[in-house]
Amino acid sequence: MANSREERPGTATNSGTVVAVRGSVIDMHFDAALPAVRTLLRAGENGRVAIEVLAQRDAHHVRGIALTPTQGLARGMRVENTGGPLLAPVGKPILSRMFDVFGNTIDSDPELEGVQWRSVHNQPPPLVRRSTKSEIFETGIKAIDVLTPLERGGKAGLFGGAGVGKTVLLTEMIHNMVGHQQGVSIFCGIGERSREGEELYREMKAAGVLPNMVMIFAQMNESPGARFRVGHAALTMAEYFRDDEHRDVLLLIDNIFRFIQAGSEVSGLMGQMPSRLGYQPTMGTELAALEERIANTDSGAITSIQAVYVPADDFTDPAAVHTFSHLSASIVLSRKRASEGLFPAIDPLQSSSKMITPGIVGERHYRLAQAIRRTLAQYAELKDIIAMLGLEQLSPNDRKVVARARRLERFLTQPFFTTEQFTNMSGKLVSLENALDGCERILADEFKDLPESALYMIGAVDEATVKAKSSASAEPEIKPAAEAKPEQQHSEDKAHALDDT
């Protein structure tokens, strides 16, 4: 195997011994030169325990965090210095494969061949190499492209609590990229369930998108050190495709909160004093070291979409606040909208994008987005009056606003390709032009005579008319009571005649 991990340059420069094992934290003694911080060490039988150096305690002792389980490790055991940091595989052979944090394949396909190994710790691209041009990154999802457009080479966050549809929305974006995105998709699962990883692999294979996709996982039952480093390994792979092959990369991270959580666990294990709400004092630095590597350069772009779990739906939580500062678009998923069946459950009033300016999206798009937000905000204000007094007590103008807002809410729903087996509705990919056209026509009251349900779960707006007609023809014909009366009278007269005879 070319450039394999067994043939790395600078192997075992010196060895040491284990002096203390406290869960995942290991103290080691070295007589000669101490290994540098971030150096990977190996201990135990066949070097099965991987340890990353996090601190040099004195002239002869280092403290590290185990990236693998430490069962069987004991004081006095030998520790080998690999002479370098944790490495990740890069190259064309990694496409369509699934990896763990060490670059081992965890699918059932043959072993990798012809790959290079690069350090997971790289510096962000310098400012002189970064592109200054802002471009829209279309997803084919109406609610995102119209109200919170994504930036090519930017970072977008999917904020929401448990069970509101973050992973489904990420999976749908991978599906939609196949049609008009000729780049590479990299899925990084931080603290994922093994069930979710297996389902995603199967779905991507069935959809035919696996040949241009790489998956890397650190499951939630793995050590905090592995979960903390898997994001860096995924970025090393993404940087190869951007810088060496000059391709655009879509990097999907699920879930960036678990990266912060893993860093908090590592910090606590290392004995650092916790900061606000128990988070690590170095959270801002650690998150910036990861996020700043995601950039649009002169050779290509890494566009990142990150799911962000919000603890207890509290957007003032330090993890959510620190993540917000790195994003060019924030897509907030609402539990209330999910309970109403409005999927994707994107809250248009809380979500935002730095791309919504006339200079980037154009005057028409900007004007429409503002009109949609204004209409939905007015509807939100009128909801209390409707609940207390009823819709009839509103003025005619307010009733028109409510009708438009309810139709817009339903038009911004969309059937997904990834949920076809659950909903029995075929997925829809909607262009930005079609989405804007539909919103403009709804705001002009073109569909005021159609029922609201005709605009629910459709693609382009013209499907609403077809849906309304098919719904009307499917309803059973009910005879009016007036028509039934003569027949009833006739039967009664017949009965009386029989009695007389």
* Separation of alpha carbons 494 and 501, rounded Å: 11
Maximum distance among all Cα pairs of the chain, rounded to whole angstroms: 124
Distance separating alpha carbons of residues 56 and 78, to the nearest angstrom: 18
* Catalytic annotation, pick one of 8, 193, 335, 406: 193
Q: Which residues of 46-55 are buried (b: 16+ CB within 10 A; e: fewer)?
A: eeebbbbbbe
Say whether 410 is catalytic.
no
- How far is the CA of 425 from the CAs of 208, 419, 456, in angstroms? 20, 8, 12
**Paired residues of 150 in beta bridges:** 137
- Cβ atoms 410, 455 nearer than 8 A: yes
Residue 208's region, left for phi above 0, alpha for psi from -120 to 50, else beta, is left
Which of 52, 172, 192, 239 is flagged as catalytic?
192
Return d(Cα 400, Cα 390) in angstroms, integer.
Answer: 14
469 a catalytic residue: no
Separation between Cα atoms, residue 123 and residue 371, nearest integer Å: 42
Asked if 40 and 85 touch (Cβ cutoff 8 Å), the reply is yes
User: Which helix (H) or strand (E) segment is 18 a member of?
Assistant: strand 15-22
Residue pair 318/97 in contact (Cβ under 8 Å)? The answer is no
Say whether the peptide bond before residue 344 is cis (omega within 30 degrees of 0). Answer: yes
Of 42, 97, 166, 229, catalytic: 166
CA separation for the pair 87, 89 (Å, rounded)? 7
Which of the 8 DSSP states describes residue 339? Answer: H
CA–CA distances in Å: residue 451 to residues 105, 286, 386, 482:
52, 51, 19, 27
Q: Are 413 and 454 in contact (CB under 8 A)?
A: no
According to DSSP, the residues that pair with 53 across neighbouring strands are 64
CA–CA separation, 376 and 107 (whole Å) = 46
Active site annotation includes 245: no
β-pairing verdict for 40-43 and 25-29: unpaired
Q: Which residues pair with 330 in a beta bridge?
A: 157, 352
Cite the active site residues.
166, 192-193
